[in-house]
Every structure is written in structure tokens, then in C-alpha cells.
Chains A and B, each alone.
Chain A
Amino acid sequence: MNVSIAFKTIVTKEIYRFIRIWPQTLLPPAITTTLYFLIFGKLIGDRIGTINGASYMDYIVPGIILMSVISHSYANVVSSFYSTKFQRNIEELLVAPVPNWVILSGYISGGIIRGLLVGMVVALISLLFADFAVHNLAIALTTAVLTATLFSLAGFINAILAESFDDISIIPNFVLTPLSYLGGVFYSVDMLPPIWQTISMGNPILYMVNAFRYGLIGVSDIDIQLTFMITAGFIVTLTLFSLYLLHKGIGIKN
């Protein structure tokens, strides 16, 4: 059994899926983020001034890019894998000799690719509004890839455990969006009262947004090494949990 062919098949299928429905997958983030840049960055931002030495527009660009990466890597895997479960074409994979880690890595790769592609689209749009030299490309790219991986895994687990279409919208609407908005996308955590600064430290998105912001404009509220360690820790934990769910057949087998 050549597992690389199975892996390639899943990834190709996933890419083909989100490209085929590009008006639902690639176009909306372009429109939404253009509005963010116009309203928050341009109209309101000009009145705010600078944060940590960066113009407000430059300050929010990394957060908005990463927020798009987070929501789209998550959305890709949760919707694709849940549809596969719902339409029962997961059975195509289960009857074939495809190892669980190949199923997982195939879907996660699809999520990472869509997340990064959307991130690139948003980054290109940001060039119309912001003007900064990239501070450290390696840190920015590593953060984006790790973030996309983490949220693809989270989407995968959500899809496995979901029993209805409602279940796949609860986490994005009631957990992911609030965490993203409270993750320092539009403000520095130093601007919050001490109690909220402490509470914010429990939000993993805060670390990723700051690491990505450091990579792009050289400004961060958080230690970058700590960010990588936390993100890697989450990735390992969620990977092991996903493999456990697949091994036990929870949500996909009787």
C-alpha cells in the first residue's frame, strides 16, 4: 500500500473542493477584510494614532491576516470532514487500507493550504492600505503555518464529534470568533485593565497574533519562544486526540 498516493489523493480532493466553491471560500474573506481595513484601519485608525510605535493600520494588519488564517483553516476541515461524514463518503476511506494518520494529515493539509491561501489574499489586500517592511519573515511564516495546523486540527475534532450541522457552527460562532476578537487583533493587551490582561493570557490566539505581528512589524506583547512552545504543545495534544478518535472510530464508526 502506497500511503503517499492516498495522502496526495485526499489533499488534491480537498484543494479541488475549496477552489471549486471559491465564491464561498476565497471571495468572502477578501471583501470582509477590505471592510476591516477601510473602517477600522483607515477611518477610525487615523484618529487612534500609534500603538507601540506602529500606526494603527500597520498594527491591525497582522491580526486580521491571522484571524482569516484561523477561521478558514478551521472552517475548511470542519465543513469538509463533517460533510464527508454526513454524506457517508467517509466510508470510501474507511473501507480502503488508508492509515488513520494519513486521513488526518490529508484533511489537515487541506485546511492549512486554504488557511494560508486566504492569508495570502488578505495580505495582498493589506498592501493597498498598509506600508511596512517585513520584520522577520521566518517567524511570520512559522506562526502562520503552526496556527493553521492547530486550527485545522481543532476543526477536525469538531467535525468528528459533531452530530448535526448546528454542532459545526457552535464552536466558530461562540468560541473562535470571541477568542479571535479578544486575542489582541485590534488592541494591545497592555491597554487592558490588569485583571483582563491576566484573563487574556489564557487565550491561545493572543500568543499567535502577537508572534505573527512580531514577524511582520516587529511589535509584540508576548514572548515569541513561549508562543511557539504553547502552539506546538496544543498541536501535539490535538493530534494525539484526533488519532485516538479515529482509532476508536468515535463519530465515524458503529
Chain B
Amino acid sequence: MKALSLCNLRKTYSNGFEALKGIDLQVEVGDFFALLGPNGAGKSTAIGIISSLVTASSGSVSVFGHDLKTERDLAKSCIGLVPQEVNFNQFDTVKSIVLNQAGYYGLPRKLALQRVEYCLKQMDLWDKRDTISRRLSGGMKRRVMIARAMVHAPKLLILDEPTAGVDIEIRRSMWQLMQEVNAQGTTIILTTHYLEEAESLCRNIAIIDEGRIVEHSDMASLLARLHIEHFILDLAQPLTTAPAIDGCQIELVSDKVLNVAIPKEIGLNHLFSQLTDHNIQVMSLKNKTNRLEQLFMDLVTSK
């Protein structure tokens, strides 16, 4: 049984725009799955269909073995959605937002109150439970939406760009939170524009572009396809020209900064020994671009 199975899913909007052109996708139980794609690729449409906010033109959606059309209630009960934008009533208190959602899922009052307390404590929001939600910071509002999505203990949590527009500190704490939720057995599907986020959190990945899945594999094999990596080297002493090193392309960005493109089979040891031979001392090194970002660009621009 798959946590999520999409079969030949298509969506054409009333204006004729074909957002999804027959996508097939499987997500394993317990996975932390990244669904990536450029703006307008069809990610939000796919998530909208899975979470019943958008009506599919054709195709099927199955959640933990329950078909979204024929076993609608069972399928919906398995899903928790954290949308891109804040969509709760900003005049309600934090507690009532989460408690109402528990009610919509049919949780009895006593259990609902226990779940609300658990989720708000997990999101570090218990102290804010009686605060009117519009008075919360952006990061807190995001956490309210995660607490709301988790109140009925869904087996599948869909996070649609949960860290968009939040500062790095909150983003890091949310990553930790998502990893904890996943470790507790919840399958997570994440869409994000921060490819570093997908690379560090997700085990499997699908890339969607122009309504089609252009890549669907595990993160490790995808990254292994990267043949050339780019590094920025900060040097101790200034140079006037870039050194020539076999197999590598080197560019002098400024007198103390080198941009190095190195094929995977050559390796960094070769680079460093050659640099040492040229009496070049390297103070620090970093990836020029995120590895997944490079692959992502290759995949969505290779049309």
C-alpha cells in the first residue's frame, strides 16, 4: 500500500489552461517526499486535487489505499494540509482555530481538547492559545497551520511551501519540527522553493514541470547524477592569474577568490594537491550552488 498514489491525473481549467497533463506519482508510507517545480508547473494544482480543493478533470487519487472518489471520507481523514497562505479566521483565537478543525474531522470534544493541547505544545504555541491569531508573528501563524493540520493525527501531512517568507531561524526550527513529525511515522509531502530544504529533509523527490513529472526518484540517486560540482575557494594570498589544473576549470573571480568546476571522478584531493604544488593556500571552501538546485535547473531547462 502506498501513502499516496496518483494515476493519470489531469486538470484543465475553465479557461483552457492544462495544468496537469496526466501525472503518475507514488509516495511510500513513512516517506519524506519533495514535490518540486517552477512557478506554474502544476504543484499547487496537484496538491489542491489531493486535498479536495480542486476538482480533477480525470484520473484517480488514492490515499493509504482509499480512493478519493469512492471512499472520500476515509481518504480525507488520512490527510492534513498546511497551505501556502494563511487561511484561518484571523479573528479567532489560536485554540479555537485548531479545536474547530478537530470538530470538522468529527473528534469528540474530550479527545479534541487533548489533541489541541498536544499539537499546540508540540508547535510551542500553548502559551499563545488564547491569543487572537492576527496578533501572531508570521512564523507563529505557520505553526498554527501545522498544528491545525495535525490535530486529527493524519497519516499524510502535505506542506505546501511551509517556510516561504519566514526567517532562517524559524525555518530551521520548522525543519526540525517536520523531521520529528516524520520520525513519529507521519508521511510528509513537501513543496518548497528552497531546494536546500528539500535536499536536507527529503528522501524521495518528484519534479514537476509544465504539468508533467520530469523526474521521480530517490534523492541520493538524483544527486549522484551530478557530474560536475562547482566550488568557491577563498585564498590566503592574492593571485594575478588563475592556476591551470588538469581536468578542472578554474576562474579567478577576484584576487583571493577562485571559482572551480571539478568533475566528480577527479575528486577534491587531486585539486588540493595541485593547488599545494602551486603554493596556493585555501582558507575555506563552499559549494557555488546547492547541488539539487543545479540538477533542478538542468531538468526544467533541458526541454
Contact = CB atoms under 8 A, between A and B. Distances in A.
Interface of A: 1-3, 5-6, 8-10, 12-13, 16, 20, 83-84, 87-89, 91-98, 249, 253-254
B103 A92 contact: no
B123 interface: no
A88 B88 CA distance: 7
B76 A95 contact: yes
A6 B52 CA distance: 17
Given A87-B87, A87-B89, A254-B13, A95 B103 contact: no
B101 A5 contact: no
B238 interface: no
Contacts of B182: none
Contacts of A91: 53, 81, 83, 87
Nearest to A91: B87
A3 B106 CA distance: 6
Contacts of A92: 87-88, 100-101, 104, 148
A6 B87 contact: no
Contact of B105 (A10, A12, A16, A97): A97
A8 B103 contact: yes
A95 B79 contact: yes
Given A96-B105, A249-B55, A254-B55, A9 B73 contact: no
A13 B100 contact: yes
Interface of B: 13, 45, 48, 51-55, 72-74, 76-77, 79, 81, 83, 85, 87-91, 96, 100-101, 103-109, 148, 152
Nearest to A99: B73
Nearest to A88: B87
B99 to A, nearest CB: 8
B106 A1 contact: yes
B100 A9 contact: yes
A94 B74 CA distance: 14
B104 to A, nearest CB: 4
Contacts of A5: 103, 106-109
A94 B52 contact: yes
A98 B104 contact: yes
Nearest to B112: A5
A97 B81 contact: no
A97 B76 contact: yes
B17 to A, nearest CB: 11
A10 to B, nearest CB: 8
B4 to A, nearest CB: 15
A89 B107 CA distance: 19
A95 B104 CA distance: 9
17 contacts: A1-B73, A5-B103, A9-B103, A12-B103, A13-B100, A87-B87, A87-B88, A87-B90, A88-B83, A88-B87, A89-B89, A91-B53, A94-B53, A95-B81, A96-B105, A253-B53, A254-B54
A9 B104 contact: yes
B55 A6 contact: no
Nearest to B75: A97
Contacts of B81: 91, 95
Q: Which residue among A6, A10, A92 has the maximum number of chain B CB atoms within 10 Å of its CB?
A: A92
A253 B45 CA distance: 11
A249 B56 CA distance: 12
Nearest to B90: A87
Given A1-B77, A13-B100, A89 B88 contact: yes
Contact of A97 (B13, B77, B108): B77
Contact of A93 (B72, B85, B90, B104): B104
Nearest to B73: A97
A97 B72 contact: yes
Nearest to B152: A96
Contact of B48 (A9, A20, A93, A254): A254
A253 B48 CA distance: 9
Given A83-B89, A87-B90, A95-B79, 5 more contacts: A1-B106, A5-B106, A6-B106, A95-B76, A95-B81
Contacts of B52: 94-95, 253
A248 to B, nearest CB: 8
A132 B96 CA distance: 44
B155 to A, nearest CB: 14
A96 B96 CA distance: 16
A191 B91 CA distance: 49
A244 B62 CA distance: 25
Nearest to A83: B89
B106 A254 contact: no
Ranked nearest first, the 7 interchain pairs of A and B with the lowest CB-CB distance are A9-B103, A96-B104, A2-B106, A97-B73, A88-B87, A97-B76, A254-B54
